[in-house]
Amino acid sequence: MLIIFTAAVGMILAVPGWPGAVALVFGTLGIGMAASSGAVVNHVLDARIDINMPRTKNRPLPQGRLSETQALAFATTLCIVSMPMLWFIVNPLTAMLTFASLIGYAVIYTVYLKRATPQNIVIGGAAGATPPLLGWTAVTGEIHSDALLLFLIIFVWTPPHFWALAIAKKDEYEKAGIPMLPVTHGNEVTRKYILFYTTLLVLVTILPYLSGMSGLIYLVAALSLGGYFLYYAIRLRSDEGIDLPMRVFRYSINYLMLLFAALLVDHYFILRLPI
C-alpha cells in the first residue's frame, strides 16, 4: 500500500497539474506489479526462515498452501508483464529503474545483505525508497532533484522503522539467524541508532520546503509528525519493554503515509512564505 501511494504522490508532484491517465494508471500498475514480483521472490527465498518466526510462519509458503514453483511462476509472470508495460507505455527510464529496484530488493538485499550485515536495512533501504522516484520518472521521463529528495526521505525513514520492529522481535530474528542490529549489537545500541536516524529524518523532511518544492502546509505537517516521531525515539532510549517499539513501528507507517499526504495537499493548496 505504501509503495503504491508514495509512487502515486511522486507522479502527482512531478507536474503542476494532473499527471495524465496513462502515466498514472500504467505507471502505478507496472510499479505495483514489479514490487509484488520482488515481494514474492523474497517470500520464496525466506520460506525456510519464515517458518521459524511467529510473525511470518503463517505466510502461504511456510504453511505449504503454495509451492515454490507456483510462487516463482507468479513472480515471473508479474515481472514479464510489468517490464514491457513500463518500457513501451510509460518510458524506458522508469522500466530500467524499476527493474533495478526489483533486483536490489529481491536479490541483493534478500540473498546477501539480509544475512550478511546488521546494516542490511540501511543499505537495502535504497531499493525500498525508490517508489516516489519511479513515480516521478513515469510522468517526466527524467530524474529530478525533487524526486531524489522524496527518495532520501524514505531512505532515512527505513532504519528507525525496521529497527523498532527488530527490537520487539529480537528473539525471532536471533532464532532465524538474521543479524539484525539488536541481535548483533544489542537493544541499547539500536535505540541510539533509532534516535540518530529519527533526528536526521526530521532534518531531511525540511528540505522539500527549503528547496521550494513544497510550502507551509507541508512544513507544519513535517515538523509536527517528525516531532512526535522524535518524542517516541527519545522515550525508546529509556524503555526496556517491547510494547513501545511496536508502537513506534506502527506509528512510523502512519507517519510516512501522512507525510506524503501532506506533500500532496500542499501541492494543490500552496501556501508559501519567503525563505
Condensed to tens digits (0 to 9), the pLDDT of residues 80-109 reads 999 999 999 999 999 999 999 999 988 888
In the chain, where the domains are located: 1-143, 147-275
Amino acid at 9: V
Average pLDDT, stretch 5-29?
A: 92
Confidence of residue 124 (pLDDT cuts 50, 70, 90): confident
- 51, burial (CB in 10 Å: exposed 0-12, middle 13-18, buried 19+): middle
Question: For the chain, how big is the Rg over CA atoms in Å?
Answer: 19
Cα 263 from chain centre? 16
Q: pTM for the full model?
A: 0.93
Query: Cell triple for residue 259?
Result: 507525510
Cα 181 from chain centre? 18
Q: Are 52 and 175 in contact (CB under 8 A)?
A: yes
Q: Which of 151, 25, 175, 152 is nearest to 86 (CA)?
A: 25
Considering the chain, what percentage of its residues have pLDDT values greater than 90? 69
Q: Are 131 and 35 in contact (CB under 8 A)?
A: yes
pLDDT digits (tens, 9 = 90+) for 148-158: 999 999 999 99
Cα 76 from chain centre? 22
Backbone angles phi, psi at 269, to 5 degrees: -125, 70
Would you state the pLDDT for residue 112? 82
Would you state the pLDDT for residue 273? 47
* Angstrom distance (rounded) from CA 201 to CA 228: 12
Q: Residue 134 pLDDT > 90, yes or no?
A: yes
* Angstrom distance (rounded) from CA 187 to CA 168: 9
* Angstrom distance (rounded) from CA 69 to CA 79: 15
Q: What is the mean pLDDT of the chain?
A: 91
Would you state the pLDDT for residue 18? 86
Backbone angles phi, psi at 234, to 5 degrees: -70, -45
CATH 3.90.1150.10 fits 1-143, yes or no: no
* Angstrom distance (rounded) from CA 102 to CA 184: 27
Q: Residue 270 pLDDT > 70, yes or no?
A: no
Confidence of residue 16 (pLDDT cuts 50, 70, 90): confident
Query: Cell triple for residue 17?
Result: 497539474
**Is the pLDDT higher at 55 or at 182?**
182
pLDDT digits (tens, 9 = 90+) for 183-194: 999 999 999 999
Q: Residue 165 pLDDT > 60, yes or no?
A: yes
Confidence of residue 2 (pLDDT cuts 50, 70, 90): confident
